[in-house]
Structure 1
Amino acid sequence: MNEPNVDTGTSPDATATDHTRSRYDLAAPVYDLMEWPIERGLYRSWRETLWAEVDGPQVLEIGVGTGKNIPYYPEGVHVTAIDLSPGMLKRARRVADRHPEKQVTLREMDAQALDFAVETFDDVVATFVFCSVPDPIQGLREALRVTRSGGGLHLLEHMRASPSWLARLMEVLDGPMHWLTGVHIARQTVQNVEAAGWTLDEVSTLSWGDIYRRITAHKSPD
C-alpha cells in the first residue's frame, strides 16, 4: 500500500500539466510582487546558502521561474535553467540579461519529460518547485536520470507540516489551493525524493512545523 499523501509516480497527466502551466502563466506578471515579503524575509538567504554549495560545473535548475536564483549562480558553473511556463521564462530572461556574468541557458521544458541525455549534469537544483510538478516522483526520476553518478540534488521545498493538526488542515486546503495556484501545499517531498531513487544525505528544517526544509541527496553508483 502506498504511504498516505506520497505521490505514486504514475505517467504524467497532460491535463494536470496544462493546468499548472496556465496558473503560472497567469501569475507571472505579478509573481515577484506577491512573493516580495517572504522573498526578502526568508527565501533570499536560503537561496544564497544553497547555491554556495553547488559545485557543478554542469548544473540543471528545474523551475527557474522568474529567475530569482540567477544572481546566486556560482562562478565557473554553467546552469541550464528550465521552466514549464513561457510567462515565467520571459521574466527570467530579463534577469539573465541583467547578469551577463552568469553562464545560463534558459529553456522551456517539462520536468516530467526532460529533453536531455542520461548523465548530462553534475548537479540538479530546484527551489520551491516540486510542490507544483504534477507528478513529482516522475520529475525527480527524470532529474536522477540526467544526473551523473555521484551527482547531487539540492532542494528548498515547502511541504506538509509535522504537527498533526496543521498537517490535516493543509490536506483539507490542498485541493482548493492547487486549483487556484497550481501549487500543492501538503506534499511529502522527502519521501518522494527517496521513492524516485535518490540517496538522501541531509534534511534540514528551516521553519517551525517542518513546513520549509532543505534537502540534499545524491545519485548512488549502479
Structure 2
Amino acid sequence: MDTKIKKRYNRIAKVYDILESPMESGFSRWREKLLSEVKGKTLEVGVGTGKNLTYYPGNIDLTGIDFSENMIERARRKSGNKPNVRLMVMDAEKMDFEANTFDTVVTSCVYCSVPDPVQGMKEMKRVCKPGGRLLMLEHVRSNHKMVGKLMDWMNPIPLHLYGANINRETYENLLKAGFEPNDITIKHLWYDIVLLIKVNIKK
C-alpha cells in the first residue's frame, strides 16, 4: 500500500464529491449501466465515498473496500447501515478474503490510483468465483497518438494532487494479470478514454 496516496485520499475525503461533481452528470448514467448487471455476492474494490451505493440492486449481498479510512467513513453514512452492505478498510493489492468468494467484482475509476494495478487485478481474479465476472468502469490512456502523448504530459498533475494516473493502460494490465483476450469485452463510453470493461472469470 502506498502510504502517500492513502494520506492524500484521507485528506480530500471531505471534499472529494465536490471535486468530482463536474464530471458526475456523465458518470452517473454510466454507473447505472455498470451496476445493472451485478449479480450475487458482490465486491466493490475502491468503494470510495460510496457514490455507487444507490445504484446497486436492493437484493444483493454487497461488500465494499477502500484503503482510505476517511473515504469508508463517508461511504458508511451513505449506506444507511443497511444489513446487506458491509464496508471495510482493506488494501486492493492484498485482500483478506478467501479465494472464490464473490460472484461479481466491481470497480469504477479505481485503477487510476492502485499503485500496482496488475497485482490488484490478480487479487480480483483470486477472490472472484469461476463463472463470475469483473465489471469495470475505468478511464484509460487514449490510443490516439497525440491525445495519448498529451495525457502522458499532463499525468504528473493529477498524480501529484490525488495520486491518480490519467494514462493507465488497463486492458494491457488485465492481460499482464493473466486474463485472456477472449474473456474481455470492452465498450467505449466516451471516445476511447472511458470504458466499460467486462471480464469473464475462468480458472
1:162 alignment partner, SS class:
coil
- 3-state SS in 2 of match to 1:153: strand
1:127 Cα deviation (Å)? 0.3
How far apart, in 2, do the equivalents of 1:190 and 1:28 lie?
A: 28
- Give the deviation of 1:161 after TM superposition: 1.1
Q: 1:109-132 CA deviation, whole Å, 9 max, x = no partner?
A: 000000010101111000000110
> 1:201, CA displacement in angstroms?
3.1
Distance 1:64 1:181 in 2: 16
Moved over 4 A (4+): none
Aligned equivalents of 2:179, 2:68: Cα separation in 1: 26
Structure 2: segments with no counterpart, 5+ residues: none
Letter in 2 for 1:25: N
- Aligned-partner Cα distance in 2 for 1:33–1:177: 16
Which residue of structure 1 aligns with residue 101 of structure 2? Answer: 120
2:34 maps to 1:50: yes
Distance 1:94 1:217 in 2: 31
Establish whether residue 64 from structure 1 lines up as the match of residue 47 from structure 2. Answer: yes
Cα distance, 1:190 vs structure 2: 1.1
Unaligned stretches of 5+ residues in structure 1: 1-13
Q: Give 1:193 deviation, angstroms.
A: 1.4
Per-residue CA deviations over 1:114-158 (Å, capped at 9, x if unaligned) read: 001010111100000011000000000001001111110000001
TM-score of the two chains, using structure 2 as the length reference: 0.95
Match of 1:32 in 2: 17
In the other structure, the counterpart of 2:129 is 148
RMSD (Å) for aligned C-alpha atoms = 1.3
Shift of 1:191: 1.2
Aligned residues: 201
Q: Secondary structure at the match of 2:107?
A: strand
Amino acid of the residue matched to residue 48 of structure 2?
G
For 1:169 and 1:107, locate their aligned partners in 2 and report how far apart those are by CA, in whole Å: 37
Deviations 1:42-97 (A, max 9, x none): 11111111111111x11110000000010011132111100010111110000001
1:87 aligns with 2:91: no
Partner of 1:212: 194
Question: What amino acid sits opposite 2:152 in the alignment?
Answer: E
TM-score by length of structure 1 reads 0.87
Percent of residue pairs identical: 40
**What is the aligned partner in structure 2 of residue 137 from structure 1?**
118
